[in-house]
Amino acid sequence: MFRKVGRFGGIALLVVNLLASCSQQNHVAVTPVVGERSPYEKFVHRTKKYPTVMQVYLDDALLNQATPKSPIVICLRQQRGRLYVDGKVAADWPVSTGADTHPTPTGRYKVRLKKKEHASNRYGKMYNEKGKCINDNADAFTEQIPEGGRFVGSSMPNWMRLTSDGVGMHTGRVVAGKRLSHGCIRLPHVVACMLFDIVDLGTPVSILEDIEPNYPVAEILAQREIEAAESASMAEPEELPEDAR
């Protein structure tokens, strides 16, 4: 289920499970963190397959304080996006960025255009003169429109442009952990609507290959990787030497 995201009033913390179910989670033991965990640490700790999950984290108390100056970080390795408020994670969500053939550029950008309803002028569907779709992944910059035919650009609602050559964030199909786009950053619709209401021209957006410096749950994830590797090595019996067989 989805909760309508207005100006984020209501429950202090919401975890929206878009696709994943509890039955899909594994059960890797993680060493408890000393002291009380923050709401975000609790979210990551109990979301065993994080970051490759279709779960969205929203902290309403922090979101109510978000401004157009609140920074957004896109982590390509994790295929996750995060909104920070006063150095704390206010939202964390899955993204699908550019596929290997159309990689999303890394760097530090600012939102340079907002448009609620937008369509690509390059990628979309090509139709012939009879109205039949002859290519559902057409590139209007490299393919000629057939005589009498037409090109229809892919819909990109909640468009937030970042680069001069057309890379931006928008509502789109997202698959956890998968790079699928032509370079843009696809967002779940509920997240795209939320961010569209927060950002303005000039909002800082960092696209990083690896996780951002001072990432608050780096230790939890590092410990999880160590324990997963140890569990895997213990599950594989060592081969006995020939003279002991």
Q: What is the pLDDT of residue 245?
A: 54
Q: How many domains does the chain have?
A: 1
* Residue 102 placed within a domain: yes
Q: How far apart are CA 129 and CA 133, in angstroms?
A: 10
* Residue 213 placed within a domain: yes
Range of the domain at 35: 13-118+156-231
* Residue 131 placed within a domain: no
Residue 56 belongs to domain with CATH number: 2.40.440.10
Mean pLDDT by 10 residues, the chain (245 residues): 44 44 38 70 94 97 98 98 97 97 97 95 90 92 93 94 96 97 97 98 98 92 85 68 60
One-letter identity of residue 111: V
Q: What is the pLDDT of residue 15?
A: 45
For residue 154 the two structure tokens come to 């892919």
Q: Hey, which bits of 6-67 come out as E strands?
A: 13-17, 55-59
Q: What is the pLDDT of residue 237?
A: 61
* Residue 113 placed within a domain: yes
* Residue 211 placed within a domain: yes
* Residue 130 placed within a domain: no
Q: What is the pLDDT of residue 63?
A: 98
pTM over 0.95: no
* Residue 182 placed within a domain: yes
DSSP letter (8 states) at residue 201: T
Q: What is the pLDDT of residue 81?
A: 98
* Residue 195 placed within a domain: yes
Q: How far apart are CA 203 and CA 162, in angstroms?
A: 10
For residue 55 the two structure tokens come to 């779960």
Pick from 108, 93, 107: nearest CA to 177? 93
